[in-house]
Structure 1
């Protein structure tokens, strides 16, 4: 399973990348067909945010800790300091790890949005 990633290099520039999250086939019930499941990852907190309609652009900013965001509705356009732009829609998730440097821009869709924020202790590097 692939996950979009925003990260910062030592010089403070932000970039996009991808993380491959390994999965394995798991059957959750003896009569159920197996499906792809990832390992568990340690998290320190889970938050929901409601972004009101009309909030268009958030200035350059970083995140305080590694966070996996899951967009439940609406969309956002992210721009990294190298000028690359990606759009993330409802049902998509992003690992945001630019905790230092210039950060990234967030341009929100005109509609209200709900976003799930999961603070990860070690990103997607070390499952439990």
Structure 2
């Protein structure tokens, strides 16, 4: 669960970075309007959005892995040591879930940027 949480957090960072790339490329495409460079920038925005999408998929898998680890650690009666493990697992699952949401939001932003870039370049 800890590794899954870390994977999800890294994926969220990757998605946010890719989203920023898409937004930058879209801004440039808008500034360049209907030129060849605008088309190139729109393609760059699409590529960045694809990176964000892959990061979201990674975050989703990590979130699912963390939740699976959480389910397998939950049993009705356990010694306190296992309870501590379960609490930690729950924390990691929550972190992974939050990271997934961040990644998903970043991907949506990237898609908005792509739409702007496509519009600007008549792509």
- Relative to the length of structure 2, the TM-score reads 0.24
Larger radius of gyration: 2
**Greater RCO, 1 or 2 (C-alpha within 8 Å, sep 6+):** 2
Greater helix content: 2
